[in-house]
Chains A and B, each alone.
Chain A
Amino acid sequence: MTQPDLSLWSQTIEFLTTPLWPAWIAGGAIGLLAFSQRWITDQPLGCSAAFGNACARLGSQLPLFQSAAHSSATDWKLWFLVGIFLGGLVASLSSGHWAAPTDFGTFYQALMPTSTAGRVLWWLFGGVLIGLGARMAGGCTSGHTINGVAMGSPASIVASALFFAAAVGTAQLTQFLLKSTLVGG
């Protein structure tokens, strides 16, 4: 009688601890969660605005961070990011191993400077581009793509198309340059 329940339970646990889920399951879960957030809290999914709250809490007096969008009443945006951090932690702990901190894949391994100092500058520069771009565009891949495109919001569709075009263009161009330097050198 309890046998099938037990096996279903262990199958569920096994699935939850699998590091990589099939795309449609992971995507479906994210879509369902994004809608659940809308239903429960009546607030759209988004991540990059929280960095404006971070600036305000770090003491910036700039008017953008003193605006209502980043007031302390909206600090749930920061708590959301803390939650994401914990989610990654739970994912690693439940899978039984940490993500390799030096495994960036062959492309980024070849693209990035080899020295630690060079890489720190690379990541800092990349981060600045991400923060600058996301706040200028009014959202990132969460706020514009997962949330905005699913509402059919025109600005979000344009922003998402440009996110992908620029990212694909940057990756393809740098790979081309890498290859030609390797062949040339």
Chain B
Amino acid sequence: MNANNLLVRNGLFLLIGLVFGFFLSRAGATDPAMISALLLFQNFHLLWVIATAVGVGAVLNLLAKYRQWHGLTSGRLISFPHKPFVRTLIPGALLFGAGWGLTGVCPGTAPAMLGEGQWFVGVILIGITLGTWLVGWIDHRWINARGPAIMPQRPGNHRG
């Protein structure tokens, strides 16, 4: 891929991200009080947001799959790469849930919250980067000891 295409691609994702961040904000997902209200079963607004998002996505995915829709820029059949069942999925999901519950922030809402003016999320973003780095470090030690463990192998996801 040449530099020009790369620029267009990065710009396209910047734009999609902008709309996503805007929607997350309008959904109330960037408000820690809304997250805690969901987790403490006080207000199910965000549950309905997630359920509708997944429902609409599922219907469109099924339509695209069975009607064999083609991607706009790829020109090929739209792909549906499933994430693999990595060995670290269960402990990872539990750690993630604990961090989410303790802060009311997740990796997608964090940048939007910062944009909204919630400066404290800057600290959480540094934490997420540190946590990510820690996975790379553990992975490195693990490879040396017993062979690949965390390194995600996602077929069809590396076309970039």
Which one, A36, A84, A131, A146, contacts B54 given CB within 8 A? Answer: A146
A40 to chain B, nearest CB (A): 5
Q: For the complex, is A106 an interface residue (Cβ under 8 Å from B)?
A: yes
Q: What 1/0 mask marks residues of chain A from 104 to 140 whose CB sits below 8 Å from any chain B CB?
A: 1111100100000001101111111111111111111
Restricting to B102-118, which residues have a CB under 8 Å from any CB of A?
102-108, 111-118
A92 to B111, CA, bound (A): 13
A119 to B83, CA, bound (A): 34
Question: Inside 8 A of B160's CB, which chain A residues have their CB?
Answer: 71, 73-74, 76
Question: Inside 8 A of B108's CB, which chain A residues have their CB?
Answer: 47-48, 84, 140-142
Give the residue name and chain of the A residue nearest to B89 (CB): A137
A35 to B59, CA, bound (A): 10
CB of A82 within 8 A of CB of B152, answer: no
Give the residue name and chain of the B residue nearest to A148 (CB): B83
Give the residue name and chain of the A residue nearest to B76 (CB): A42
Question: Inside 8 A of A106's CB, which chain B residues have their CB?
Answer: 33
A26 to B49, CA, bound (A): 6
A34 to B52, CA, bound (A): 12
Which one, B36, B92, B118, contacts A132 given CB within 8 A? Answer: B92
A104 to B32, CA, bound (A): 5
A63-B151, A73-B1, A101-B119 are known contacts; what are 11 more A-B pairs with Cβ within 8 Å? Answer: A34-B57, A40-B12, A77-B13, A86-B18, A101-B118, A105-B34, A122-B103, A123-B103, A127-B128, A131-B135, A135-B131
